[in-house]
Amino acid sequence: MNIKGHIAVEGPIGVGKTTLAELLARKLDARLILENPESNPFLPDFYKNRERFAFQTQIFFLMSRYAQQQHFAHDDLFSQCTVSDYIFAKDALFARINLSDDELILYEKVASVLEKNVAIPDMVIYLTASVDTLLQRIKKRQRSFEKGIDKSYLEDLCEIYSDFFFSYNDRPLLVVKTDNVDFSADGEKLSYIIEKIAGKKEGTEYISFDSVLTDN
C-alpha cells in the first residue's frame, strides 16, 4: 500500500503507541521515529519526587525531542512515509500537569520558540484506554523507572490528552479505543487501521471496533 507523509501515534503512558508505530512502520515499509524516554537521566527521580524534578525532566524531553525532529527534518525525512510514536505538542501537555506556574511560564517561552521550527504530522492516530488498562500494561512491561506512576497521575494525563484532542483539527485524526485490542496479535484489526490511514483525508474518526463514528 503506497502511503506517504508523516503518521504520528499518540496517547497516554502505557496505551501502546510504540507497539503500533513499530507495526505500522513494518507494514508500510516506513522510516520509524521513536522517542527514547530511558535516555532522560532525570526520569527515575521524577517518578520518585515529581515536584522536585519536574522542570529538569521536562526541559530535557523538550530539547531532546526538538533535536530529534530537527535531525530528521534536515534529512528530508518527511518527504517519504514516516511513522513516529509521538507528536512534538505532547511535551506541552506533560508540562501543564507537572510544572508549577512559574516553571510553566519559563517552559512556554522556550517551547514557543522551538515549535515554530517543527513540522506538524500529516495524520495523527490518538490511542485511548481506561486508566485501569494503562496501569495493567505499565505493570506488565516492567520498566523500572515507571514503578512510581500512580493512578491519579494517569487520570490527570488522560484528561489533558482528551481535552487536547477533543478540539484538535490541525490534521486528519483517528481516535482508537484500545482497551480490548492487541495489534501485535490481531492482524485483521491492524489491517483495518491501515485502511483507515490510507483513506483518511480530513476530519476526525472514532474507532472502537464495535462501531465507527465520523465527524467531518
Residues catalogued as catalytic: 85
Cα distances (Å, whole numbers) of residue 39 to 17, 74, 165 = 18, 22, 27
The owner of cell 510544572 is: 99
Can you tell me whether residue 191 is helix, strand or coil?
helix
Handedness of CA 196, 22, 134, 124 (dihedral sign): negative
Cβ–Cβ < 8 Å for 126, 20: no
Cβ–Cβ < 8 Å for 30, 38: no
SS (H, E, C) 100-167: CHHHHHHHHHHHHHHHHHCCCCCEEEEEECCHHHHHHHHHHHCCHHHCCCCHHHHHHHHHHHHHHHHC
